[in-house]
Amino acid sequence: METRHRLPAAERRESILAAASVVFGERGYAGATTDQIATAAGISQAYVVRTFGSKEALFVEVARRAVGRIAAAFRSAIEADDGRPVDRRLGEAYLDLIADRGILLSLLHLFSLGSDPAIGPVGREGFLTVYRLVRDEAGLSPEEASHFLAEGMLINTVLALHLHESEDPDALELVTQACGGDLSRFRALAAG
Amino acid sequence: METRHRLPAAERRESILAAASVVFGERGYAGATTDQIATAAGISQAYVVRTFGSKEALFVEVARRAVGRIAAAFRSAIEADDGRPVDRRLGEAYLDLIADRGILLSLLHLFSLGSDPAIGPVGREGFLTVYRLVRDEAGLSPEEASHFLAEGMLINTVLALHLHESEDPDALELVTQACGGDLSRFRALAAG
DNA sequence: GTCTATAAGGGGATAGAC
DNA sequence: GTCTATCCCCTTATAGAC
C-alpha cells in the first residue's frame, strides 16, 4: 500500500481496477461514484476517469476481468482432477472466489443490468461464457450446469445481502446450505 | 389508463407503486430516477416524491409489496393441493410471477443492496421471510428450501439479463432449464 | 503520471400556486 | 390532489498546470 506518486501506467490501471471492483461490488454500477473509487485507490477522481475514459468503460473492464477470473478458476479446477466429481471441484473453486468479494458482487450487479444498452450485452456474454464453460469443458449436462449456476446465484445473493453476518439462526442455516456446509470462506471475510 | 387529475390518494399511491416497480426493476434503485417513475405513472416528479416522502421510502415500499406478493402466491400454492408435490406447485407459482416483471426484478435489486444501511435490513428480512415460508409453511427441508431459492435466483438473473430474448441457442437451452422446461411465462413477456 | 479547478448536467427535494 | 418553478447538491468529465 501507499507507494503513491508515479506508478507505471499498467500498475496504476491494476490498482484502480482492484479498487473499482470492491466499490462497484458494494454499491452497484449506478450507486458507485468515481470519487469513491478514486479514494479507495488513493488517487484523484479526475485521474480515474482519465485512465479509463469513462465510468462505464471502467465498469465494463471490471466486469470482463471478473468473468475471466471465474473462467480461470474453473479451468484450474477442471484440470486438477483429484478424484472428486468435477462439480464438487467447481463448487469449491467458486467458494474460493468469495475471498475477493468484489469479483462475485460486481458480477451480481452486472447481471442485473441486462436492460442497459451498453452493459447488457457484456452481461449476457459473460453469463453464457460461464455456462458454456461448465457444460462443455467440465462436461456437465445442461441440467447439471443450470443447477450449478443456480447455486452460484444463491451464493452471490447471500453474499450481497450480508446474510453471513446476520445473527439470525435461520440466516446461518441458509448460508450453511448455500455453501454446502463449508462456512470457512464466509467466516474468513472481514465484516464490512 | 389516463384517468388523470384527482384520483383518491389510495388509488394514486397504487398507480405510483406499480410504475415504480417496473422502473426500479429495470434500472435498479440508484439507476432509476423519480422523474422516470413519474413519467411512467403519468404525473409530475414532484408529486411522486411528495407522496412517499423520498425515493428511498418509495423503493422500500415497492420492495415490501413485492415480498408480500410472493408470500401470498406461495401460500395459495401451498393450500391448493392438487396432488402434485408442493415444490412443484411453488415453482409454478414463482413462474407465474414473471408476468409482472417488476416484482421479481425489484427484488433482485433489493437483494443486491445489503450494504445499504437503510435498504439492507429490508432485503435481509424479505429474503428470510421467503425462506421461512417455504421451509415452515410448505414443509421443505432446509436443503430443499435452499435449492428452491437457488433456482429462483437463477430465474431472476435470466430475466434481468433478458436471456429469454436472446437468439443464442445456448441462451435458449439455459432458459429452458431454468424454468423447468415450461417456457410459456417467458414467451408471454413483451420484449422490452 | 498525476493533480487542482471547474464546467456542465442531472436529480431529489421543497415552496407555493391552483 | 396535483402542478410548475426552482434550489442546491452531487457527479462525471474536461482543461490545463506541474
How many CB pairs lie under 8 A apart between chains A and B?
A: 144
pLDDT band at A192 (very low <50, low <70, confident <90, very high): low
Q: Is residue B135 part of a domain?
A: yes
More confident residue, B121 or B189: B121
Q: Choosing among A146, A156, A176, which should be mutated to test the B contact, i.e. which has the most B CBs within 10 A?
A: A146
Chain A nearest-CA distance from B164, in A, is 11
Using the Cβ of B167 and the Cβ atoms of chain A, whether some distance falls under 8 Å is answered with: no
Through-space separation of residue A142 CA and nucleotide C9 C1' in angstroms: 47
Q: Is residue A134 part of a domain?
A: yes
More confident residue, A4 or B122: B122
Q: Which domain CATH number covers A50? A: 1.10.357.10
pLDDT band at A69 (very low <50, low <70, confident <90, very high): very high
Residue B3 pLDDT exceeds 60: no
Q: Is residue B165 part of a domain?
A: yes
Q: Is residue A2 part of a domain?
A: no
List, in order, residues 6 or more apart from B102 with CB less than 8 Å away. B18, B21, B22, B24, B25, B62, B66
Residues with CB under 7 A from strand C: A 5-9, 12, 42-47, 50; B 32-35, 45-46, 49-50, 53-56
Q: Is residue A192 part of a domain?
A: no
Q: Is residue B14 part of a domain?
A: no
Q: Is residue B46 part of a domain?
A: no
Domain count, chain B: 1
CA dist list (Å): B119 to A14, A174, B58, B123 = 31, 20, 11, 6
More confident residue, A4 or A109: A109
pLDDT band at A172 (very low <50, low <70, confident <90, very high): very high
Q: Is residue A109 part of a domain?
A: yes
Give chain B's mean pLDDT: 96
Place of cell 444463491: A154
Domain that residue B64 falls in: 56-187
